[in-house]
Amino acid sequence: MELTKKGHSCVALHRDGRTLVIDPGGFSEEDAAVGADAILVTHEHPDHFDEGRLRAALEANPATRVWTLRSVAERLSAAFPGRVHTVGDGDTFTAAGFEVEVHGELHAVIHPDIPRITNVGYAVATGDGVVFHPGDALTVPNRPVDTLLLPVQAPWSKVSEVIDYLREVRPRVAYDIHDGLLSEFAPPVYGRMLGPDGPGVGGAEHVRLVPGQSVAL
């Protein structure tokens, strides 16, 4: 299987000629979801869910399906009946040939005065392990994770929390996501903190991919 980094929190997984895209939001490429057989959306915030990008993908391929939480599904279901599926914590399903588990319920706390919305993470089986995309939360799934998609920067996090999250999940490798707000000065700092010269992240290899770069899993 191959993983391709897209803009911000969007990634694409490719296997056996089929493609699954997660979180093609407003900070990702305009065509990030086009060509996908299946699309997963973690929550409704615009950097993770862009209605125009999803509509373009659904209109381009009548076989494309979407799995997401209710707040997103309600905005698409009427226009694409039978093609948008609502999921929540504990659900399992097959999307474009990938076995997927749903973990988590709430977005991380941004500020106590800001109501928390629903957020779900997706554990996608690769055949040799599991890729986990947590969305906007530091959810620890109740299963081993081989490849963690790590939100390295957000209005709701600080680097100590990112380090502790990586320690707790203990993946083999972590690839940066949620990095769209970082300047060019940030990657060396985060790389140093999360790499072998940092405070220690439980033995995980930390890797930064640029948008468009792919790796074999």
Confidence (pLDDT) at 202 = 78
Confidence (pLDDT) at 203 = 84
pLDDT in tens, 38-75: 999 999 999 999 999 999 999 999 999 999 999 999 99
Look at residue 171 and tell me whether its pLDDT is greater than 90: yes
- Provide the CB-side half-sphere exposure for 174 (13 A, CA): 27
Confidence (pLDDT) at 29 = 96
Residue 44, domain CATH: 3.60.15.10
Look at residue 175 and tell me whether its pLDDT is greater than 90: yes
- Please state, in angstroms and rounded to a whole number, the distance separating the CA atoms of residues 132 and 146: 8
How many structural domains are present in the chain? 1
Q: What is the average per-residue pLDDT within 89-102?
A: 98
Question: Considering the entire predicted model, what is its pTM?
Answer: 0.96
When the pLDDT of each residue in the chain is averaged and rounded to a whole number, the result is 96
**Which DSSP string do the residues of 169-197 spell out, in sequence order?**
H--SEEEEES-TT--TTHHHHHHHHHSTT
Q: What is the average per-residue pLDDT within 96-115?
A: 97
- Check: CB of residue 24 under 8 Å from CB of residue 51: no
Q: What is the average per-residue pLDDT within 184-195?
A: 90
Q: Which of 181, 118, 182, 122 is nearest to 147 (CA)?
A: 122
pLDDT in tens, 125-163: 988 899 999 999 999 999 999 999 999 999 999 999 999
Kindly indicate the confidence band of residue 198, based on its pLDDT and cuts at 50, 70 and 90. Answer: confident
Residue 101 structural domain: 2-216
Q: What is the average per-residue pLDDT within 179-191?
A: 91
